[in-house]
Amino acid sequence: MSIQFVCYQWFFPSCFQYCKLYMVKFCPHDLFVNTRADLGQCPKVHDDEVKALYEKSNSYKKQRYEEEFIHFCQCMLNEVERKIVKGKQRLALIGKADAVSINADYCEL
């Protein structure tokens, strides 16, 4: 009979299977499900017990995890803003092309 060790200490190196972002606040993989910005399913484990241990902890590693979370969120925000700008530019180009074709049609009449 084998005994399985379940790692509920979030800061052990052997416990990198847990999602750091989920422990800090939430996992971004769960945000934009079924949209163009969907990140897919998170490859890490989301465990509420480990998250509770993380929240109770006073370890110095918490700050590093929180900084990683903020950095990841800022990168996602920058990516979405970049896509919005590109979309607006594309719409502006389409609008100019439509305006030129409408003016050409109007002048022919």
Query: Hey, how many other C-beta atoms are within 10 angstroms of the C-beta on 54?
Result: 21
Per-residue pLDDT of the chain (109 residues; tens, 9 = 90+): 444 444 445 455 445 688 888 888 888 888 877 877 777 888 888 888 888 888 888 877 888 888 988 998 899 889 889 988 998 998 888 877 665 555 555 555 5
For residue 14, the 8-state DSSP code is: G
Residue 7 lies in a domain: no
Residue 60 lies in a domain: yes
Residue 89 lies in a domain: yes
Whole domain around residue 85: which residue ranges? 13-108
- pTM equals 0.65
- What are the structure tokens assigned to 98, written together? 């439509």
| Domain count for the chain | 1
